[in-house]
Structure 1
């Protein structure tokens, strides 16, 4: 089973749980897709998407409430993913995701 599809991610940050929805697919050895976030203004396209078996990583660029680039590094297990988010210089936070 691939990572292709629609995913809902929850980032457990110090300011509370943040939601991110991503539609992704493997294309020519890269991970491509679009995303949207609850309460944030972000660029719709994922950046530097990579997929290697069950390992998935990509970046999301946010403009509000704080301009930054966040990197998500995840491991897929069927219809779930777990990993970490690194939003700029703010440390790392746990991430969970499920296929929707």
Structure 2
């Protein structure tokens, strides 16, 4: 199933301070899922950790440093080219996450 989630995903995270739109890239590397998150405005490239796929449920962790230092835990359900779920940062309330996989060959849109 890991090959079925590989690709570039445009996420929207509805946080208490507004919507954040990171991009994540998922791939299989040496038989394991690996990934990187790219910040919408901050320009950060962050590794995804503890990536696990159980059926259609995908989970991972990542740390961010901007706009503040946070450790995030994601839990989403993948359905074809869409995903829905939550992101949790410590004691803060969960944030709703939605995402769509990019078509192969889709151009990356750089923020202005």
> How many angstroms apart in 1 are the aligned matches of 2:65 and 2:45?
8
> How many angstroms apart in 2 are the aligned matches of 1:22 and 1:52?
19
Ranges of 4+ aligned residues in structure 1 off by more than 3 Å: 40-43
CA contact (8 A) 2:72 2:89 kept: yes
Bigger Cα Rg: 2
Equivalenced residue count is 99
TM-score of the superposition, structure 2-length normalised? 0.79
Q: CA RMSD in A?
A: 1.7
Per-residue deviation at 1:42? 4.4
CA contact (8 A) 1:26 1:32 kept: yes
TM-score of the superposition, structure 1-length normalised? 0.88
Alignment gaps of 5+ in structure 2: 103-112
> How many angstroms apart in 1 are the aligned matches of 2:100 and 2:58?
13
Looking at secondary structure, tell me which structure has more strand per residue: 1
